[in-house]
Amino acid sequence: MARVSVPFTEGHYYGEEKRPNTELAHNSLLACRRERNRKVEVADDMLGKQNNNDNNFQYICNSDQISPGQSASFTINDEGGSNKIALAVFNLDGVFYAISDVCIHKGGPLSKGTIKDNVVTCPWHGWKYSVKDGRSAHKGGDSVSSYPVKVLEGKVYVSPIPQAVGKKISKPHAAYQELDGAVKQHIRNTESSQVLPFNRDGATLRILGISTTNMNDKITPRKSTSESALEFALQYAKDKYSAETVMLKLRQLNIRHCEGYYSKDAKACIFPCSISEMDEEDQMIEIYDRVIIWADVVIVATPIRWGSASSLYYQMIQRMNCVQNQIITHNNYLIRDKVGAFIITGGQDNVQHVAGELLSFWSQLGFVFGKFPFTGWSRGWYAEDTENNVSDNAKSLAFRQDIMKTINGAIEMSRLIKKSRYDEKILNNSKPPSSLLPIRD
């Protein structure tokens, strides 16, 4: 018969044989069982937590759906299941990574960006992030959230719980921030006013003149019929109406060309323009400030160049597409209670065509026009003696009378729209009734 070893207690003898302490043996067995159960409970708890973590992972695709060096966009539910998370998933030599698909700058789709050296560049404005952890590719830059990825049996899973949360750190330069804040405050003030003040600091109104003619002022300056006419118009407004006037000459401003962000995506064309945000030397900010905030009346003067407005004019208005685009993308009307007018001169006749282009663009920005909204002067198709343009223009009394009519019409219209709150009535009455709004499930 096999003997079982159990603890003994010293001092207890029964005859010739040492007898076991049964109570102590029982307690020892119970202690062993409790320790074994505790270890099982700890293991089960750890396994449960692992299973819970595994349950957070959501299937997105098969691993062969994203080729090495490529990326794709997916959406998964957040941890609570109430919101969607947009993901950009990358395959780097067979290893999968997931970061937010939404660029923290202005929302560009990172899944459509270019990938180089494990860094993705946003296709909208060039923000860069590591595809491995969402961090900025340079010190002090913004980051996006990154998410854990697992691949099991050829299937890719992503957890909605970020392993690193993105942060916006960088800020635009001071002039850009000031303009952005000033425009927003200007719109708030305009919307809250019952009657817009027409008198400001003793000046009846503010008139901005924009000269779009080009020349070399330093080496070979010349006289310009369009700019001379604009100078006359501003002086007339100042003398007759005590207006405060400013002339901006585009040739003296450092304005970069439009880079076509609107062509990438309407939402990529932001206001203030992203070029002004990234380039502190870009002076388009002054145009935005004067046109949107400062001026009551804007007069644009242009020469005729091969039947069209000047090249500098087109360079400016292409950069003003972001003003009009705010209406499309954000239902945000930046031009409020503004009147436009135009002066068009040229050696060859095509005044009506140029005027039509100018009226079309500025009306789409939100400008209104008074009686005789443009003044034109031309010497005709066969006037090749362009050296006489300035002298002939200076002799034209009718041209100056027409300029005065244009200024009078613009100023009177400015008074009318401010007094009647014309813009606000149009915008408020244009809101669709609830019966026409789309039904949402």
The tokens describing 136, both together, are: 């900025």
Q: Is the pLDDT of residue 286 over 60?
A: yes
Which band of pLDDT confidence, cut at 50, 70 and 90, is reported for residue 139?
Answer: confident
Residue 263's pLDDT is: 92
Residue 97's pLDDT is: 98
Helix (H) or strand (E) holding 379: none
Residue 391's pLDDT is: 86
Helix, strand, or coil (residue 90): strand
The tokens describing 377, both together, are: 């002067």
Place of tokens 């502190």: 280
Residue 36's pLDDT is: 58
The tokens describing 401, both together, are: 């009378």
Identify the residue with better confidence: 190 or 250: 250
Helix (H) or strand (E) holding 404: helix 397-420
Residue 384's pLDDT is: 76
Contacts of 189 (CB under 8 A, 6+ apart): none
The least confident of 35-39, 227-231, 366-370, 427-431 is: 35-39
Q: Is the pLDDT of residue 316 over 80?
A: yes
Q: Is the pLDDT of residue 25 over 90?
A: no
Residue 9's pLDDT is: 38
Work out the percent of the chain whose per-residue pLDDT is above 90.
69
Best CA proximity match to 372, nearest among 340, 348, 347, 396? 340
Task: For strands 339-346 and 374-378, give the pairing.
Answer: parallel
CB 380 within 8 A of CB 348: yes
Cα R_g (the chain), whole angstroms: 37
CB neighbours of residue 18 within 10 Å: 12
Identify the residue with better confidence: 27 or 361: 361
pLDDT digits (tens, 9 = 90+) for 75-109: 999 998 899 999 999 999 999 999 999 999 999 99
pLDDT digits (tens, 9 = 90+) for 317-376: 999 999 999 999 999 999 999 999 999 998 777 899 999 999 999 999 999 999 999 999
Best CA proximity match to 233, nearest among 413, 411, 415? 411
Q: How far is CA 435 from CA 180, 431, 432, 441, in A?
A: 35, 11, 8, 15
The tokens describing 198, both together, are: 């027409």
Residue 30's pLDDT is: 60
CB 303 within 8 A of CB 222: no
Strand ranges in 33-173 using DSSP code E only, listed in sequence order: 58-62, 71-77, 84-92, 95-100, 114-116, 119-121, 128-130, 146-147, 149-152, 155-158
Residue 44's pLDDT is: 42
Phi-psi region of 88 (alpha: psi -120 to 50; beta: other; left: phi over 0): beta
The least confident of 124-128, 333-337, 360-364, 431-435 is: 431-435
Q: Give the chain's domains with CATH numbers.
A: 59-158 (2.102.10.10), 174-429 (3.40.50.360)
Residue 42's pLDDT is: 45
Place of tokens 């009455």: 429
pTM metric for this prediction: 0.81
HEC states along 274-295? Answer: HHHHHCCCCCHHHHHHHHHHHC
Number of residues that make up the chain: 441
Q: Is the pLDDT of residue 396 over 80?
A: yes
Q: How far is CA 384 from CA 215, 311, 345, in A?
A: 19, 21, 15
Q: Is the pLDDT of residue 197 over 90?
A: no
Q: Is the pLDDT of residue 312 over 70?
A: yes
Burial (CB count within 10 angstroms: exposed 0-12, middle 13-18, buried 19+), residue 147 = buried
pLDDT, averaged across the chain: 86
Tell me the average pLDDT across 156-179. Answer: 96
Which band of pLDDT confidence, cut at 50, 70 and 90, is reported for residue 386?
Answer: confident
The least confident of 110-114, 190-194, 218-222 is: 190-194
Helix, strand, or coil (residue 164): strand
Residue 209's pLDDT is: 98
Residue 347's pLDDT is: 72
Task: For strands 128-130 and 146-147, give the pairing.
Answer: unpaired
Amino acid present at 346: G
Residue 320's pLDDT is: 97
pLDDT digits (tens, 9 = 90+) for 35-49: 655 654 544 444 334
Q: How far is CA 115 from CA 94, 164, 245, 321, 418, in A?
A: 15, 20, 51, 30, 52
Which band of pLDDT confidence, cut at 50, 70 and 90, is reported for residue 385?
Answer: confident
Place of tokens 């239902």: 331
Residue 408's pLDDT is: 98
Amino acid present at 295: A
